[in-house]
Structure formats: structure tokens, C-alpha cells
Structure 1
Amino acid sequence: MNKHYPLLLVLALFLAGCKSDGDVSSAPADHEPPITSSVASTAQNGAEVATSLTARYNDVRTNCGASSMPAFLCRGIVLRSTVPSTAYKAWNPSPHSQKSGGVSFSYLSKDAKFTGLVFGQKNGYIFYPVLSRPIGTRQIEVLCSYPLDGATQLREAPGCGAHPYSPDRSRRCQTIGITTAEGWIANRRSNTWNLCSFDVRDSMNNQGADSFYQTIRAHQLEGFFAGQHDYLELILATWPQNIPKELPIEAFFYLEGGLAGAQFDQKDFFDSTGGKVVPIIKIILPTSPSADARFVYSAADQVK
């Protein structure tokens, strides 16, 4: 991709002059995300982020170029829903996460759709994929994945271990002989709490990409889509408190009804980083299995 940089940069700068400051809605696209120019305005960056999110949503590669590189490293949307508050920073790990060593995220893509977030929350933030995170930001490791909500609050640390309601059959899938989507489904059907986690840590090496791909397959095969807990869940390694500049936050997002929360977080992040602007993107989740999510940037949504 680097060998095309000069041409894409020129194209990005040319297109920037043609963009308006109104709503920018990204429809499904098959091309790679554009390279963001360092001289682009905030409005243009927001539009480009919406385009990049759409491209990653539509990307359904099984890995990022090798069997040791799970798909979440380069495609899909890794997001965390939050609740705005003056008592804490939305991007800081919660007290529970500080203790457990894991932070819960959701994964959204064309092959891993859902209709709502945990507890009905309406806003949060999105991480860049590891392979495209900005220089100077931390690489946050993904530790495990679940085809739906993994009921991780009660699990053994870091949220990938056994659940007390089924201590033997809810551990990491590979430790109990489960390596396929079909195996995961059969295990859960024997007991609702048999929710084992697919191990996707870096240490999985050549099994890592398939482990995550089986997570997506189980999500699809079992028809998880419109239920209350039907989002694919990831557990990421906990990071230190109060390091907003080091976090690979690509955007703050909101669903319908969550704009005020996203605006609070955008301003709080701006103030906490000494002036770093991260755009707000509206996510319109699909309402049917055949529909797709949309990512919309609007200048009117921004407070910074």
C-alpha cells in the first residue's frame, strides 16, 4: 500500500476541495480506506473516517494476510460503548477492568452484525485496527472473542476464563477441545452457560486467525443478530489510566439518541489531550439480516 502513497495523497487533497461541510454518509464500498492527509481539515478527516469505517465493515477477509493475523487486526469495527460522566473518563478502564486485566469491546462487520449495544447504551468510541493505528499510539492486544455477549463480568480474569455457572465447559475453547464454530454451538446448546471463549492472543500464532474466524462463523451459524446480547464480544488487555494521547481512538460514535453523550466525550477528550480532535460518527445499525450498518459524519454533530 505504501508504494501508492503519493498518488493517493494527491487524490485525497484534490477530493478534499470538493467536499462540503454537511452530512457525509458512507455507503458500502469495496475499496481500501483512503490515506488521511495531515493537512486535511477536521471536517474532511471526519468524512474520511466514515469512509474508512464503511470499507472495513464491508471487508470480510478471514485473516490479515497470514494464519497468525486475525481479521480484527485490519478490518471490521472494534468499539466500546460507554456512559458519559464527570466522575470518570470514558476511555479509562473501569475498576472491574483494572482488577481483571480485560476490557470488553464489541466487533461489528458485514459478517458479524447486531442491532444494539450492551445495556442499551447509545455511544462510545472506536479503536483503529492494530495494523493501521497511528504512530505513537499503543497496541492493545485482543485476548479472546465470543460469538455473542460472553457474560464476562463474573468470569475468571481477564474475562476469558471460566464462568461460575459452568466452570468446566466455559473456559477458553481450545483448553476443552473446541476449535470450530460447530463445536462451540454444540457445547452451548447442551447448557446455555457453556460459553467458551476463543483464544486469539498473539501467542496463538498460526491458530490465531482461524480462532477468530470460527467466532464469526458461530455468530452467523447460530443466527445471533437481533437478540438483547447478540453482539460479538472481544476482551482487550487493560491499559493504564489517564493516557488518552496514547490510545488508538479513531472516533467517538453514537446511535440514535446518543449524540449528547458522544459530544460530551469528544469535548472531554479534546480538553484532556490538550487539543486533539477526534470526530463523532453516527452509526446506523442494521434492522434486518440483509441490511448493512451505515457510518455517517455530520459537521453539525461536532463540538470540537
Structure 2
Amino acid sequence: MKEIIALILVVVLAGCQVREQQQQQQQQQPAPTEQMPMQTVQADTGIASTTSSSAQSGATVATNLTNRYNDVRRDCGKPSMPAFLCRGVMLRSTVASNDYSSWNPSPHSMKSGGVSFSYLSKDAKFTGLVFGQKNGFIFYPVLAKPAGTRQIEVLCSYPLDGATQLRLAPGCGAHPYSPDRSRRCQTIGVTTAEQWLANRRTNSWNLCSFDVRDSMNHLGADSFYQTIRAHQLGNFFAGNYDYIELILKTWPQNIPKELPIEAFFYLDGGLPGAQHDQRDFFNKTGGRVMPIIRIILPRTASANAQFIYSAADQVK
């Protein structure tokens, strides 16, 4: 028994010695570096400098946008799932103002029920935005939207600018300059890119809209795919208003927290507008920081768009 007790004492003493050595080693090691928390700011002063975590978030957004731009899948896994649900970049150009928030639908959109977006991807390139605008915001695709944000339905698509301002609601209906041949494509027998181009050749206002609503079911993915094909076959790149136009269902005013906004963006010359919107979003969401991404659009058919996050672009 004495031998057992002695053995136990030896083990206990050895354990104490090991713990003392570990504590000494920990005291000699430098303390871990703590991340500085984002500073709180008043509504009229702007946003504090971004932290390393938000910098990482912005860089991740730029990477995700690049990956989705390069993705050229025909659909998102099913004939009923158009490609815009999972790939490409859906963006809306806006004009910064102190009189309204850029993410709120315009008075026209509130009346028509549709909001115009542009669609950018490696197989749907364009060189400029409507009216030469330089900044705006980007929506997540539906299959990647954050929990708690709204699913905004895409109602129709055009292989280039659809001159939607004068169309029947929600922007997918007939244009007054061609009331018979500018309605939804499927209603006039147009279901392929070749048919769409042939229809337009007879009258430049014969811009019918491809129906991509959820109700299209197994025809939805091909309907949007034909939009992309017509954009390519029509050689619209580098022409006037050369972007694919989407009409999204109008959402209510003043719900920034519920919208699937992924980032604010700018083209050359548009940084002040993007910074205005970033600050506005921060103030009206109780401190949410939405990254600003610079987009460089391709200038030649062989070039690709670039998505760049820079800490220097963010509001200080």
C-alpha cells in the first residue's frame, strides 16, 4: 500500500510540474491580435473604416461575382430553372440622390409593377448601362440569396434593351410603336432566338419579351436560354443599349433589410454615387455594411468583365 501511495504522489508531482512549464510557456508567448470592432457613427457623418472582416467579405463578393460571370450553364439543374436563378450578375443602374434611396422602385415601376435590370455574364456581355449611368446595386441570384430576404421574381427578358418605359405593364407587354409584334414572344409564336431575330428584322420595334415567369415551368429555362442566344446571334455587343434587359416584379418601398442586395457597384466615374448609396444603406439598416465593387466592362468581344473590391473605395 505504501508503494502505491508513493507512486501516486510521484505522478501528481510530475503533473504539477508539467502544468507549471505550460503556464510559463504561455506567458512568454505574445497575446493574440484582436480584430478592431467597427466604429459606430452618426447618421450624418458616414461609415467608419472597414474592418478586416468586412474587407474579407468584400473580396469574397468580388470572387463570387467573377465565378458567376464565368458560369455559362444553360439552366440551374432543371428545365424549369432558368440560368439567372444561379449564375450571371443581375444589376440595376441608379442615380444617387438625397431625395430617395436607390433601392426603392421608381414611381414608374410602382405603377407598372416591373423594375428593369441588366444581366451580365460571359455569354451575355455588354459595354455600357442605360443612359450612360455609372453605378447601382446587384441582386443575389435566387438560389444564393441570404435567409430572410425576399425572392424577387423575374417576369420577362429581352436580348437587348426592350424600350420598356412605354410598354404595357409590367414592362413585358406590347410597345405602342408595334402593338402586334412586340408582345410576349410566346403569345405570337416566337420561341427561339432565330424567330426573335427574324421578327425584329421586319421592324426594329418588334421587340417581343421572352416569358420567364415561374408559371412557365419546364419551358422557363429554355426561354431565358433563347434570350442569351438571340443576344449572341444578333451581335448586339458594343451597339446601342447592348445589354440583356430583365423585368423583375416590383417590391414595396423602404424595405432595404428584406432585399437580396449583394453589393453596390460602379463603373469608371461612378464611385461617388456608389459611396452615397453605401452610406445611405448603412444608415437605413441600422449599420449594415454593403461592399462597393468596381466593375470594368469588356471593350472587345474577346475581353471579359472584371469585378474588383478595394478597401480604398469603401466609405471612410
Normalising by structure 2, what TM-score?
Answer: 0.84
The aligned counterpart of 2:219 is: 207
CA distance in 2, matches of 1:261, 1:94: 17
Are positions 1:247 and 2:255 aligned together?
A: no
The aligned counterpart of 2:142 is: 130
- The aligned amino acid for 1:298 is S
Bigger-Rg structure (1/2):
2
The aligned counterpart of 2:169 is: 157
Are positions 1:289 and 2:301 aligned together?
A: yes
- Which secondary structure does the structure 1 equivalent of 2:66 belong to? helix
Supply the RMSD in Å over aligned alpha carbons.
1.2
**Gapped regions of structure 2 (runs ≥ 5):** 1-32, 34-50
Cα deviation for residue 40 of structure 1 reads 7.3
The aligned counterpart of 2:15 is: none
- The aligned amino acid for 2:257 is K
What are the within-5 Å matches in structure 2 for residues 26-45 of structure 1? 41-45=53-57
What are the within-5 Å matches in structure 2 for residues 60-71 of structure 1? 60-71=72-83
Cα deviation for residue 247 of structure 1 reads 0.2
CA distance in 2, matches of 1:72, 1:302: 28
What are the within-5 Å matches in structure 2 for residues 117-266 of structure 1? 117-266=129-278
Are positions 1:76 and 2:92 aligned together?
A: no
- Which secondary structure does the structure 1 equivalent of 2:273 belong to? helix
- Which secondary structure does the structure 1 equivalent of 2:58 belong to? helix
- Which secondary structure does the structure 2 equivalent of 1:60 belong to? coil
Q: How many residues align?
A: 267
Q: What's the CA shift string for 1:105-126, capped at 9, x where partnerless? A: 0000000000000000000000
Cα deviation for residue 62 of structure 1 reads 0.4
Are positions 1:57 and 2:69 aligned together?
A: yes
CA distance in 2, matches of 1:263, 1:114: 24
CA distance in 2, matches of 1:227, 1:286: 13
CA distance in 2, matches of 1:272, 1:225: 37
Cα deviation for residue 45 of structure 1 reads 0.2
CA distance in 1, matches of 2:147, 2:191: 35
CA distance in 1, matches of 2:166, 2:90: 22
- The aligned amino acid for 2:98 is T
- The aligned amino acid for 2:162 is G
Cα deviation for residue 227 of structure 1 reads 1.3
Q: What's the CA shift string for 1:158-209, capped at 9, x where partnerless? A: 0000000000000000000000000000000000000000000000000000
CA distance in 2, matches of 1:47, 1:102: 31
Q: What's the CA shift string for 1:203-247, capped at 9, x where partnerless? A: 000000000000000000000111121110000000000000000
**Gapped regions of structure 1 (runs ≥ 5):** 1-16, 18-38
- The aligned amino acid for 1:211 is S
Q: What's the CA shift string for 1:81-111, capped at 9, x where partnerless? A: 0000001110000000000000000000000
- Which secondary structure does the structure 2 equivalent of 1:47 belong to? helix
Percent identity, aligned pairs only? 80
Q: Find the partner of 1:95 among 94, 99, 107.
A: 107
Q: Find the partner of 1:267 among 279, 288, 307.
A: 279
